[in-house]
Amino acid sequence: MTLRLSWLAQVRKFAIIDRVMQADCFDLLRAGKHRTMGTKLVRYNVQFVGRVQGVGFRYTTTQIARRYDVAGYVKNLSDGSVELVVEGATSEVHSFSDELNQDMKDYIQTVYQHEHPANGEFTKFELRFE
């Protein structure tokens, strides 16, 4: 026996589906994932060593991050280095990293960088304090 939904039941069913889809889309937009859907996401854990504290390194990093679809944080470490954790699409993270290294090259002596799969821990990029 085939069950036929009334016209009103069908409209309600599609209205519910539509609300769920809109909510999912808004969640993706808020998380900044709308531009990276379908691409490989990566996570870089980076430590910058050199004269990287007291020179605007974290501020510059945060400003550059705003131009890219990346999330994570930057913070000073007690040993005088700066820690950066960044996630995003591979191309976005590489472009962000290239610009940061270019802008701050006069202050960076050594970079320790490790690539990992992204885990979606972050929804924005922020400056953190130790």
Q: Which residues partner with 112 through β-bridges?
A: 47
Catalytic residue among 4, 12, 76, 128: 76
Q: Is 58 one of the annotated active-site residues of the chain?
A: yes
The strand pair at 125-127 and 70-76 is best described as parallel
Catalytic residue among 19, 58, 119, 128: 58
Q: Is 45 one of the annotated active-site residues of the chain?
A: no
Residues near 115 by Cβ (< 8 Å), separated by ≥ 6?
Answer: 42, 43, 44
| Positions marked active-site | 58, 76
